[in-house]
Chain A
Amino acid sequence: MISEVVMATSGDNAPLWILAAGPAGAVATYWALYRYYRNTDKSHAYERDTLIQAQPVQGSEEKVDHISKTRDSDIDGDNSSKHRVRVERLG
């Protein structure tokens, strides 16, 4: 069986990455179960569960550059949804 697999992976149609399914599945299972039991990722969502009254958002955007060709499908360091990741403080 193992020799067949090794031979298959060296063939033209053999997607080598599929062999990562076992280790990846094991790690994902461990992590999902651990998190379900220990809930290490949970916290009070004060951004949503607090009474907040906001004025309309103000702001502007100005085009400063153009990327003509990149393989990245998104911007580097996207933190627009990571509200609790702090960046440089001004003032």
Chain B
Amino acid sequence: MTQDATPPREPSSSREPGSSPFDGPPLSLDEELAAARAEPEPGPDIDTINESLADGLNRCPKCGSTDVRLRGSTGNLVCLFCRHEWHEARVEEEFGLGVGIDDLQGTVVAGGADEIAADAEDVVTLTCGGCGADVVVDTAHALNARCHWCRHTLNINERTPNGAVPDAVLPFKLTHGEAVERIREFASKRRLFAHPRFKKEFVPENVLGVYLPYLVIDARAEASYAGRGEVQTRRWTEKHGDTSTTYYAADVYRVDREVAFTVDDLTIEGAADRARFDSSTTNNIVNTVLPFDTKNAVKWNSSYLVGFTSEKRDLDVDDLHPVLEDQLLSIGRAQVHDSLEMFDRGVRWEQERIDVGGSRWVSMYLPVWLYSYYQENTKMLHYIAVNARTGETMGSVPVSQPRLIAAALTVGTFLEGIAGAILVGTA
């Protein structure tokens, strides 16, 4: 089945069968002619729509069954009817994402990283291509659903009006069992001072596979920094009675540094809830399991999501430009660090500038195994997160404050005893 090519930025036509879209009051002849002569609305800079999935059903290319899911051990899609395995093309080669970073100009946005329509509903109604029934999908939480009549798996494979569909997906690699083992190992090293209720309620088997939305960015930038650096010229000690003081002499320099660089696949959180890193959240835990092997991401096909939950992106490219500039400035500072060796008393940067020559944005779902625990007394959501590609694990375990304080006091008392003994001995 094929679909007429439509500009992806244009909201797709109504999904209610039989209804015709209302496109405003009739125009005059002149206006109609002007509209017809006008340039078409620009599409995305990189069009990533998977045309083969336009009917919302992902069929096995061998037998046509739609009972398809991810096989974790191979990272391929597998047809549960005929056992045929296949995979989508890697976006790296398909859309040339790994090349041309040096020549990037302006902001290049792939279709899936286009702006989220603020007024679009999360709930989308799909008509099942198998039996014609209407199936409702809440795109805030899932991008696929099962037809309750014919059991076809329906996928949001087209661009939806709310821009929920990413460009690419990186399939899960670590199995549920492997994730459970890593979470158990992580928590078992932190049992002694863990909150008793956490220990009682800890069931690592409840870990959930979640696809989290990220924007993966290639960028070309020039960063410059200005500040002061000091070089020690002399060091001497002066005696004042029984005490002595060390003094220093130093030359002060004005320091300027510039560096031009490219970054490949810088990964930034695309959901506002996950992007806040203040002390009231444990979002840094999920952030810490980055980076992913994003070079292996494949073209979007929501069959990769069957059996996993997913979170919708709600931050647009414009929202994340300041975050990108911030990270590029940090990367530039790290790059110039080695050129500061002569300043043995240190450097104080006072001004900085970033010029982003070009950036390319791709929206991607990345796989994470998440064990979450809500601590009621502090109202904090703790996570133990496992990168489902690399296995990197990081977590936040709620602590038992009484036990922690008792341990601190024990150590403090012991050290104070030693200090007292030394004082008595030297008296």
Contact = CB atoms under 8 A, between A and B. Distances in A.
Interface stretch (B55-63, B75-83, B144-152, B281-289): B281-289
A86 B427 CA distance: 50
Nearest to B289: A44
Contacts of A76: 348
B93 interface: no
A72 B248 contact: yes
Nearest to B269: A44
B419 A19 contact: yes
Given A8-B423, A63-B251, A86-B326, A79 B349 contact: yes
Interface stretch (B113-121, B135-143, B167-175, B407-415): B407-415
Contact of B330 (A14, A30, A47): A47
Interface string A22-65: 11111101100110111110111011111111110111111111
Given A43-B287, A86-B326, A23 B266 contact: no
Interface string B343-377: 10111111111110000000000000000000000
A19 B420 CA distance: 7
Given A37-B397, A44-B287, A64-B252, A55 B261 contact: yes
A50 B265 contact: yes
Interface in B376-426: 394-399, 404-405, 407-409, 411-420, 422-424, 426
| Contact-residue size bin, chain B (C-beta under 8 Å from the other chain) | 35 or more
A87 B349 contact: yes
Nearest to A54: B261
B337 interface: yes
A91 B353 contact: yes
A52 B287 contact: no
B245 interface: yes
A52 B262 contact: yes
B247 A60 contact: no
B366 to A, nearest CB: 12
A26 to B, nearest CB: 3
A26 B331 contact: no
Contacts of A5: 420, 423-424
Interface string B161-188: 0000000000000000000000000000
B252 A42 contact: no
B215 to A, nearest CB: 13
Interface in A76-91: 76-81, 83-84, 86-91
B399 A73 contact: no
A29 B86 CA distance: 53
B424 A83 contact: no
A79 B411 CA distance: 33
B271 to A, nearest CB: 15
Given A29-B407, A80-B349, A87-B349, A58 B418 contact: no
A53 B253 contact: no
B333 A83 contact: yes
Interface string B216-252: 0000000010111110010000000000011111111
A69 B255 CA distance: 22
B259 interface: yes
A83 B345 CA distance: 17
Contacts of B289: 44
What 10 A-B pairs have minimum CB-CB distances, sorted nearest first? A22-B416, A26-B412, A78-B346, A8-B427, A51-B264, A65-B252, A44-B290, A54-B261, A59-B257, A30-B408
Given A37-B194, A54-B259, A61-B256, 15 more contacts: A18-B423, A22-B419, A24-B415, A25-B412, A29-B408, A29-B411, A36-B190, A39-B288, A62-B253, A62-B254, A67-B230, A75-B345, A79-B348, A86-B352, A89-B351
Interface of A: 1, 4-5, 7-9, 11, 13-15, 18-19, 21-27, 29-30, 33-34, 36-40, 42-44, 46-55, 57-81, 83-84, 86-91
24 contacts: A1-B420, A21-B418, A22-B413, A22-B416, A22-B417, A22-B419, A23-B412, A33-B193, A33-B399, A37-B397, A38-B282, A42-B284, A46-B266, A51-B263, A53-B262, A57-B338, A59-B255, A62-B253, A64-B253, A69-B247, A75-B345, A76-B348, A78-B347, A81-B337
